[in-house]
Chain A
Amino acid sequence: MSERPESYEAAVERLEEIIDRLDSGQAGLRETLELCKEGRDLVGYCAAELDEVGEGLKELRLDDLAAKLEVGSEQG
């Protein structure tokens, strides 16, 4: 799967399918290697997604965001 997964849950769902298929032992060598590569890509994607929300909670105020937007539009 070369394209980016639609979402984290879609990636995990596909990953589970891949592991089930590999566990079944029915995949041939070529398919196994392709599934392993796809699975590694998905694991990488999921890990990156988790990393994005793993660096500590950030808090913003809607008021501040609105003020920034106003400043930005004035400068623009």
Chain B
Amino acid sequence: MSAAPGSARWLLAHELRLAWHGGGLNKQGKRRPALRTFIFWAVASALLHLLAFFALRKLGGHMDDAFLAIPVTVMLVVCSTFMLSSALTGCVTALFERGDLDLLLSSPLPTRSIFTVRLLGIVTVTAAPYLFLAGPFANVALVLGHPGWLGLYVMICACAMLMACAGMLLTLALVRVLGARRTRVVAQVLAAVAGALLFLLSQAYNFMHHGGDAGPGLLGQLASQSLFGLDSALWLPGRALLGAPVPLLAAALLAGLAFALTVGRTHRFFAQGVQEAAGAGRAPARPAGAPRLRLRFRRSLFDTVVVKEWRLIARDPHLIAQVLLQLVYLVPLLLPILNGNAVGPALGAGLTLLCSSLAGSLCWIVISAEDAPDLLLSAPAPRRTLQLAKLAAATMPPLLLVALPLLWLTVRTPLTGLLVAFTVCAAVLSAGLIVLWVGRPAPRSDFQMRGKSNFLCTVLELISSLCWGGLGWLLVTLSAQDADWLPFAAAAMLAGALGVLLLAWLLRRRPG
């Protein structure tokens, strides 16, 4: 039975339809055929059920073990933090980026219904991936005779509801304290940082020297202490997830209460937040008697372009956070290197990879994501000067960033320092040239999607980074030890890096 138009249920259905269509968009922004989308998700779900079956069969008779509540609680806390990150993103989207709130708030629908539905939409979007990934475990457990595990569904929904409420309250509080314009940036950065911190924490476990028993050992130690004992209230979320009725009911009630209170207490402020968001970015005009205009016209076109690019990047904290977070996600790549004993070669490879990646990102922002290409094309400025200035603007920050470590390395071991400096400079320049030659124009907001939207450029950048990184490793190793194969391997890496550069040049985009 379809809901009456204008009712809260009708609005919720509309919200879910939009979320479904949003999830079904491909990288070109076109909707995938519904059948193909359905088959994709069905196959993925079947595979997850298979995975869950093998995992739970390995767990065997321990599925109802009280001890299990401890790791399950820890996982739930970790997931909750990810959920908070996702909910914050959802709240920022709901408040600042979706353009439909003016339409909704100007309709006869009560503000309360609109806010309720919008918050429920955030809850659904927050919970959906976890339900999809963890749901198969509950289903398989049910088949294996452990119906208590169905509590997983309730707990994920309760957690998503709590985190959505927390995210909305945090966003609205930030609007009140910081104003809409800053809130948008702060919430986006917070969401990204929350995700990245947890990612690093998860990698820290792998980074530790242990034989795979550090986790169970730590949990065992926890369980032996009175505060963290098996009966501790701290593990109630885990027990609820595994089907203990009272904690499960309490969690569901708590989430429901939080939702009702959030809606009841803040729906008016939500409307106010939307109004503030509409005026976001509008700073009050400078009052009379303010200092005179300061203009700093430069003589050189090169300087003008470099300064303009740096200003644009420096004033976009969200973009900076995204760039730096990309580097955070490179850390696992470096862990095996840094975990070894060869610190010199590891530094060579690590610094080269990091700088190359940073240069690639900045070059994309500066060159491919130019905001006003028509202005540059219609100006009499030499194209080569503009390109050189943009290349310099993008490559200088990573080089400045590693200048100090390189100096330290050069003072300690001059040959190693010089070799690493060579591979870092070459990698940075290569990354810049690849983006310059094969990068496709795109808006800055597509930064996170740049890998998908310009696959060729991303692949060439990656291969180039790996080749220069490998060369850094090999050259530093070669400077310290003598092995017959090292010069050949280094030559192969150099040939690979130069080959990629040559390929990028051959595939370069001609000016239209």
Q: Is B a genuine binding partner of A? A: no
Q: Which B residues are within 8 Å of any A CB, using their own CB?
A: none
